[in-house]
Structure 1
């Protein structure tokens, strides 16, 4: 029995609950799928003025059609929209600085500009119809280097003299002259022997030609490209060597065409997209041009450890071939990037990546000899990747004592390393079960700054660490994620911060431990703030193979025994969503709030293959997509039934892109676990996806056909039992509409009738129109209501 006082208190709490519920209007699909401006527009593209007195950012507090550029002072006051005249005169964010960072060169609208940072004065160095790009300072800082039509130019800032340093020419070198043709040479010799006048004229012509050659100014050597493309043209500090890549385009690659049916012209228009995985790809070669010797030569990987190794998944049957010495014919296809020169200009390193994705080499370059020597080899039987690694040179640079810094997953997590180019000694500067990203070396070369998820896999914080390694000082402390941009003098931090139920806002903070961040923007609308958005619980559970799997859980306020549940599968594969910051899947986040409001428990899993958890999780899907990544979801369904009072017969699943693929695999191969599924813009057959992504994970269809058969939903369609909804944009240039059409035909031939396909004629892979989002999610919601709720 309640006492009178307790009864009054209970009545008061009941009335307060009713009042709060009345002030918190319920969600609908139509409401949350509107133009996102109803939420408020978060600041983006944050950057500092060159003098460090202002922070610029894109913002849209007035909910106009487009974002505008805003600025704020370092005190956090005086937020204002940047006038068009100021915006037009701002230097580009990209560009290069001199060593003292007192000058900057940059490209804007295809022309090159030189900025004096102290005075704020800008000099326009070029004003041409042709585009100039990639400006930088020469090593002696007397010249500005840039590219025009793939050729390298040097502009002397003191004399205004412009020199062309390369002469790359499209097409083939002109054919041999008559003198080099045996028959024509014989005829000419006969003429000169018979006719003295002709002989004298030819002698005079040859003398004139020789004199012209003597008098002619020095020009760069002509280098004919044939049908290749030149790229990554750079000049060595001593201005003797020019490095460049020659890229060969495949001659027999077949491009997929995506028809666009709803166009302004009224005619169907074809969109040229991409090849399919395993089709012919571009190849590249790395060259040096020695201006002193007037010669160009290729730099190869001959003699480098691992360059002749076959991938582990290919079993060699030729013992002799397997033991054959290194030779040019045996070298694996690679792409070489760089060089990156030391600050004293005496050393250079290049990075090479194998076309089969299994190796990455960091090597010292000897430009005079045209050879490379190994400093570090990163090998993975699956594929090389991870934060700061990727393609190109990745995150890397030089320290003053002839050490190169770089990132590697050697320990199982992406960490910061150095290697001495003279001794080859390597050292790990960070270590542990967390990842480092966005590495920055301070201007005085005394400290590192970087982002790491050391506190929790679902939190990102900004750290400072001594250059030799040691204590990591955590500078940001707000739970969630902090994206930091440092001021030019490195004394201030501009922080874009968010939490799981709070979208991104801009903060300013002193670059000191314990400093208090000051919020600058308030972007959210009253309507968005009127709803009490859930803070999903970030949990972990053990997968069937013992690995920790992280997830977010949305619980209904009044959960019932044996209630329904939905599992969301994020896209991209290598992406993180079970974290504590505002999700890029914000529409889905709001939809999960709606589902929880309607009594569903929602589970959002960072399955195998997701980002943020190190190498083993990243490569856990190698040669079998739909293996461990799917079993993580099956284990999640069991967790829902065991811990969250969910009826195991009333669990649905949905997701887009990779999430759509997993949904199909779940519905086809685990039909007794998932009662209903919505597969959006789904890959249905990996042999029809792109090369760059798919060949990493499954190799190629003709070399690893078993991996493709195991991983492609179209082979398992006969297993469908539950209710399946498929949604796809018809002008999807990523996962082509052909994918879903082929699967639909397969389902028709199998006699399946428990599925439906919704098509969106004006949508690409990522939907844009609110009407499309609304239609799609009304269908998803209806699917779950009809199949997961008790009748």
Structure 2
């Protein structure tokens, strides 16, 4: 009897710690230790795929042997003759990135800080520069007789025919020195008296002036010295006729305070400080846009002062002014007098060199303008304005200029916009201002490129299903979208140089990424090139999580991944997983970036848990309204989506409402905290990993778009930050955090811990990881963290 009790205790301990014995049928049985090993045990998928310049080979990084690092491999265009590339061949390869001439028989690129010119037919590369300094951003001049490049924040050209180098800009730090002696009235009088009284003085002064004029005449023309004070220079662009050089001056605030993260486990034995970032609302860099007219030898600023919307303050500020009881008309008038800060990107020149457009974004990120630029005068003409009272973003739009280019007629510009509620492809005529939508529907378009013959578009779209990504071809002026890929899942596609073949990186829900080759035509059959998975990984029958949708309490469709136990019991336990990043998608049909969590969910299902993985409000892939559903209230609709998911589990999947847990990392950790603090009767246990606990302590770029700034919108921060709700904790809470997290600082979790201590809470614990940043690296850390998570659920969700 004693032996039996010891055996049962040992078995319970193995389960509790994530341990497991080999299944009797020879198939692998999962355990936390197995899942969280170095990912090489799964097999390393191919990545960084690119074609050789002649289109005969496909290159990619791969590691089928499980070495410490990936190696470069190649395969012929027909998917045969796969081999490892030698170190000598790899070093001789041109960079896959670069710029082509119009005929696409030459390419210029940077490699190891030097510039190279490649003749594609012969495969021979000519080294243009060979210096200890870095030269970058090479491109062909409009007449294709020179190569332009940057060095030390200045613009140079290299003449292809004779090798002559010319410096086109001369940006200098500091203030221009004063010329000559100070113009003191007394000294000026003395100088004039000397010249009036003494002939020798007059003659020598005349000789000096003549020598200066001769020296100036003999000196080759140099670019204008442009002093930038304490500002830095970026975004230097040469016009096709080489008359105009546009650039930005970046003013980085001196008073911005940088948060410090201490690193305790170091090779020196001393604690070392890591400089990270400012906190939201702190002073940020500002940008000024200039034109340098080389013929007139003058510079001038380009201003947005006459552009529609530049004085229109965000709606939340106008609302606050009205609530404060101030005179509305007076408040609006005062607001319109202050021009909003903007950043200008570009210009982007038409192929014929006659037209240029820039993209401007307000630094509060609520407006994006596409504008025609007259470089001779600096005048801007509005072509398109997209305003979003939340923030501008979406596929092809992002936080910079976004995807933009010229149509073959040199009069229409193509770009992305969320005007319809989904990111789609548009054109606008720079002369008439006429705008046209080329794609439409309740799906998103991304990764757009024009065919070399200028007759078609190629792009990725999730038209079939929000959780699928397929490759399409479409006529240049819009029309039928021809779906070229057919396998359910996601496709990352690289076109061959002649556009006859597709190199496709493909994956499915339970199948990691592999390389395929197929013809560029509808109905073509893809041929698998790589087989990356290990026998051990394939020995387990990995689930295909069902992608479902349900109605949220406000009627919106919410998508989720569902993992069901093989032998579900009545009133069983359930776990809800919350993906991180906020603007990210995980309820899809391809191999997840959260592959460890995917395997853990299989393990949980094996042990009787139903698992739900929700694409909550704020997730990518579903259009503007879902993306901005968290504006001014993180922990609002994004959390209620999880509460609605818990209700779905109870109503439809026979889950006990008292046995639901929740966990996630980063944004997922934040939602977990909000769930445990504000919905304590819904979630019995939660594991919050690397969590934001107070948004006022996160970075500016991400947070200010969603919550504005703490000073201007303090209510949004108070509503959205878990630290304000900590007194609501009832269930069991596990918090895990890396101590050298440079994204969500360890300070975040320390402050919340102190808050919980002061509130007298004792149903929580904090696990710290001394050598981990935001994304864990060490298998031992992953294992320890997930053994604790599993233990939390076993102890609090199992009867």
Q: Deviation per CA, 1:518-555, whole angstroms, max 9, x where unpaired?
A: 00000000000000000000000000000000000000
Distance 1:181 1:263 in 2: 60
Q: Does 1:171 align with 2:174?
A: yes
Distance 1:181 1:577 in 2: 72
From 343, 361, 373, the counterpart of 1:365: 373
Distance 1:723 1:530 in 2: 35
Q: Residue 227 of structure 2 corresponds to which residue in structure 1?
A: 224
From 205, 209, 226, the counterpart of 1:202: 205
Q: Residue 8 of structure 2 corresponds to which residue in structure 1?
A: none
Q: Residue 386 of structure 2 corresponds to which residue in structure 1?
A: 378
Distance 1:392 1:182 in 2: 53
* TM-score (norm. length: structure 1): 0.96
From 510, 535, 542, the counterpart of 2:519: 510
Distance 2:716 2:477 in 1: 44
After superposition, where does 1:549-560 map in structure 2 within 5 Å? Answer: 549-560=558-569
From 699, 704, 723, the counterpart of 2:713: 704
Q: Is the 8 A contact 2:620 2:627 kept in 1?
A: yes
From 66, 72, 82, the counterpart of 1:79: 82
From 485, 491, 496, the counterpart of 2:500: 491
From 252, 257, 264, the counterpart of 1:249: 252
What's the CA shift for 1:215? Answer: 1.8
Q: Residue 298 of structure 1 corresponds to which residue in structure 2?
A: 301
Q: Deviation per CA, 1:490-510, whole angstroms, max 9, x where unpaired?
A: 110000000000000000000
Structure 1, unaligned runs of 5 or more: 1-18
Distance 1:649 1:588 in 2: 23
* TM-score (norm. length: structure 2): 0.95
From 740, 749, 766, the counterpart of 1:731: 740
Distance 1:20 1:455 in 2: 39
Q: Does 1:456 align with 2:462?
A: no
Q: Residue 14 of structure 1 corresponds to which residue in structure 2?
A: none
Q: Does 1:683 align with 2:692?
A: yes
What's the CA shift for 1:189? Answer: 2.7
Q: Residue 119 of structure 2 corresponds to which residue in structure 1?
A: 116
Change over 3 Å in CA distance of 1:769–1:20 after alignment to 2: closer
Q: Residue 277 of structure 2 corresponds to which residue in structure 1?
A: 274
Q: Is the 8 A contact 1:415 1:430 kept in 2?
A: yes
What's the CA shift for 1:194? Answer: 4.6
What's the CA shift for 1:289? Answer: 0.5
Q: Does 1:134 align with 2:137?
A: yes
After superposition, where does 1:271-420 map in structure 2 within 5 Å? Answer: 271-315=274-318, 316=321, 317=326, 319-320=329-330, 322-323=332-333, 330-401=338-409, 402-420=411-429
Q: Does 1:262 align with 2:271?
A: no
What's the CA shift for 1:199? Answer: 3.2
Q: Is the 8 A contact 1:178 1:184 kept in 2?
A: no
Q: Residue 667 of structure 1 corresponds to which residue in structure 2?
A: 676
Q: Does 1:159 align with 2:168?
A: no
SS of the equivalent of 1:178 reads coil
Distance 2:267 2:335 in 1: 61
Distance 1:44 1:360 in 2: 34
Change over 3 Å in CA distance of 1:624–1:302 after alignment to 2: same
Q: Does 1:92 align with 2:95?
A: yes
Q: Residue 12 of structure 1 corresponds to which residue in structure 2?
A: none
After superposition, where does 1:553-632 map in structure 2 within 5 Å? Answer: 553-632=562-641
Moved more, 397-406 or 616-625: 397-406
Q: Does 1:55 align with 2:64?
A: no
From 425, 429, 433, the counterpart of 1:424: 433
After superposition, where does 1:615-654 map in structure 2 within 5 Å? Answer: 615-654=624-663
Q: Is the 8 A contact 2:28 2:536 kept in 1?
A: no
Distance 2:148 2:586 in 1: 42
What's the CA shift for 1:202? Answer: 2.1
Q: Residue 11 of structure 1 corresponds to which residue in structure 2?
A: none
Q: Residue 25 of structure 1 corresponds to which residue in structure 2?
A: 28
Distance 1:468 1:577 in 2: 33
SS of the equivalent of 1:617 reads helix
Q: Deviation per CA, 1:187-232, whole angstroms, max 9, x where unpaired?
A: 4334434544333222211110011112211111000010001001
SS of the equivalent of 2:439 reads coil
Question: When the two structures are aligned, how many residues end up with a matched partner?
Answer: 770
What's the CA shift for 1:266? Answer: 0.1
Distance 1:190 1:178 in 2: 17
SS of the equivalent of 1:514 reads coil
Q: Residue 46 of structure 1 corresponds to which residue in structure 2?
A: 49
What's the CA shift for 1:182? Answer: 3.9
Q: Residue 18 of structure 2 corresponds to which residue in structure 1?
A: none
Distance 1:615 1:371 in 2: 32
Distance 1:379 1:476 in 2: 35
Q: Is the 8 A contact 2:575 2:610 kept in 1?
A: yes
Q: Is the 8 A contact 1:178 1:185 kept in 2?
A: no
Change over 3 Å in CA distance of 1:541–1:174 after alignment to 2: same
Q: Residue 536 of structure 1 corresponds to which residue in structure 2?
A: 545
Change over 3 Å in CA distance of 1:181–1:461 after alignment to 2: farther
Q: Deviation per CA, 1:595-638, whole angstroms, max 9, x where unpaired?
A: 00000000000000000000000000000000000000000000
How big is the alpha-carbon RMSD for the aligned residues of Structure 1 and Structure 2? 1.2
Change over 3 Å in CA distance of 1:616–1:21 after alignment to 2: farther
Q: Is the 8 A contact 2:23 2:29 kept in 1?
A: no
From 229, 232, 242, the counterpart of 1:239: 242
Q: Deviation per CA, 1:11-64, whole angstroms, max 9, x where unpaired?
A: xxxxxxxx9961222110000000000000000000001111100000000000
From 521, 534, 540, the counterpart of 1:525: 534
Distance 2:150 2:140 in 1: 12
SS of the equivalent of 1:777 reads helix
Q: Residue 777 of structure 2 corresponds to which residue in structure 1?
A: 768
Q: Is the 8 A contact 1:179 1:185 kept in 2?
A: no
What's the CA shift for 1:100? Answer: 1.1
Distance 2:654 2:509 in 1: 24
Moved more, 185-194 or 676-685: 185-194
Q: Is the 8 A contact 2:505 2:513 kept in 1?
A: yes
Distance 1:25 1:178 in 2: 86
SS of the equivalent of 2:316 reads coil
Change over 3 Å in CA distance of 1:469–1:754 after alignment to 2: same
Distance 1:691 1:65 in 2: 36
Q: Deviation per CA, 1:211-260, whole angstroms, max 9, x where unpaired?
A: 11122111110000100010011110011000001100012100000000
Q: Which runs of 4+ in 1 moved over 6 A?
A: none
